A and B are shown apart, each in its own frame.
Chain A
Amino acid sequence: MVSRIREQFEASEGELATPAEADPKPYEVFIQLTRGQPHTHAGTVDAVDDQMALEYARKHYGRDQECVHMWVVPREAIMSTGYDDDLIWPLTDQGYRLARGYAADVRRKWERFRSVKDVDQYQAEDIKETF
């Protein structure tokens, strides 16, 4: 059947005459696997508008794993940094602004006041209580 229709068509060559109906744009897709957790990047879809992007994203990225929520964002709306000449995490030592930058010093100083065993226990509680 199909082949008969094909036979009645005259073969054409060269550039295709008809332009595409619309120009799809890339959208980045973010999915949330559990309520309350952050959305993570899942991939990209091409679509002509937001509604279609959401529909495609559902089909492509919402079905291969349990997924409770989804965002689509036009790629052109995303601002980003560069990799090489635009360092986000500075190369200089920034231990002074991190809890772990103090851990060894604090430990050593506590041992002047408390026994090693007590400091062990205190620091275990630290971690439990997110101090």
Chain B
Amino acid sequence: MSAGETTTEELKLDWGIQEDPDRLAEFQRRIDARELVEVDDWMPHNYRVGMLRVAEHHANSEIVGALPEGEWITRAPSLLRKLALIAKVQDEVGHGQMLYHVCQDLGKPRDQMLRDLCTGKTRYHNVFNYPAPTWADVAMIQWLVDGAAILNQKSLAEGSYGPYVRTMKRINMEEAFHFKSGEDMVLTLMSGTKRQKQMGQEAFDRWWSPCLMFFGPPDKESTKTGPFMQWRIKTATNDTLREKYVDRFAPAALALGLKIHVANKNPDGLIATKPDGTLDMIEDPLIRLDDKTGHWGFTQPDWEEFYRVIGGDGPCNKQRVALRRFSYEQGQWGRKAGLGCAGLPPTRN
């Protein structure tokens, strides 16, 4: 057994552990006083593991999320869009790099994380298991998915772990570019020809429900008061974030002339067709502003689909992991050279 595996073995949540009650109370006091926890500070085992899991899942998502977008670089419709997409993909991989560093400091070796991602031991964000068949999907991803990421990451930036919080703030500045350039693309598309608008609508139909799922399953009572909220690893519940998201994006989409549909999907992630050849979807009857609550109504996404896709049976799970694995294996010579194992002198340190 390698050292890496031993470390991972130790890095499991274990609610049977009895932490020193005085230290635990002091730790909670610091969190409640909004003090940031730093890498060398004492922290409960489950805080370390919980934080590592969040950060590792986030890091994995950044680099897997760059895969479907990277495929579109060569097919971008103009030089400006091509430059912007290259810059965005570069940003996302950079986000992964910064986040893996946070995880390393929490105790998991980087190579172990990269290998766990390739072998399916760890996961990445579910939203990246859906296909991006047209350029309009690229636009919608940058508007809807990066928009969702900003909302989520803004809440994470109010968390308690200093290195992660600072990384979130840095990342969010770059996400603002992704979002704005996505918004610009969607606005361009929706001010275009009838066919362009149609393309925009079809892409919107593919991405709306994965984006509602983005924030995770509906809240259970236990997660609202659980230790991860108490320790401020999470600072907002899934449903709160989802509500905020719909409040912002539903009226914006309607203003652009988009229709918000509830659709049935094929296993390939595309909208199913009815026997008469029309698309199997209806306008969401719940989309309207509730004057009493001040929030927008919406139909919940298909949570069965969510669990199926998370479980590995989504439209693109296999391609995404296979591409990541390919790139890991192809990059082996580079890592070897960098670490001085290929007959080359090692790097300075």
Contacts and interface: CB of A to CB of B under 8 A. Distances in A.
B188 interface: yes
A119 B91 CA distance: 28
Contacts of A99: 173, 176-177, 179-180
Contact of B257 (A98, A113, A131): A113
Interface residues of A, number: 24
A129 B84 contact: no
B154 A130 contact: yes
A122 B252 contact: yes
B256 interface: yes
A114 interface: yes
Chain B interface SS verdict (over half): helix
Contacts of A102: 177, 180-181, 183-184
Given A35-B35, A36-B36, A96-B84, A109 B165 contact: no
Contacts of B335: none
B248 interface: yes
Contacts of A36: 35-36, 162, 165-166
B257 A109 contact: no
A39 to B, nearest CB: 11
B42 to A, nearest CB: 15
A14 interface: no
B240 interface: no
B252 A38 contact: no
A106 interface: yes
Given A105-B184, A109-B187, A131 B87 contact: no
A131 B150 contact: yes
Interface string B161-195: 01001100000110011011101100110110000
B180 A113 contact: no
A63 interface: no
A35 B180 contact: no
What range describes how many residues of B lie at the interface? 20 to 34
Interface in B197-220: none
Nearest to A109: B187
B154 A106 contact: no
Contacts of A130: 150, 154, 172, 176
B80 interface: yes
B49 to A, nearest CB: 22
A93 B323 CA distance: 33
A112 interface: yes
A12 B83 CA distance: 72
Contacts of B154: 129-130
Interface string B73-98: 00000001001100110010000000
Contacts of B176: 99, 130-131
Contacts of B65: none
Given A102-B181, A109-B187, A130-B154, A96 B87 contact: yes
A55 interface: no
The 10 closest A-B pairs by CB, nearest first: A36-B36, A97-B87, A109-B187, A99-B176, A102-B180, A99-B180, A99-B177, A96-B84, A102-B184, A96-B83
Interface of A: 35-36, 38, 94, 96-99, 101-103, 105-106, 109-110, 112-114, 118, 122, 125, 129-131
Interface of B: 35-36, 38, 80, 83-84, 87-88, 91, 147, 150-151, 154, 162, 165-166, 172-173, 176-177, 179-181, 183-184, 187-188, 190-191, 248, 252, 255-257
8 contacts: A96-B83, A106-B180, A109-B191, A112-B191, A113-B255, A129-B151, A130-B150, A131-B176
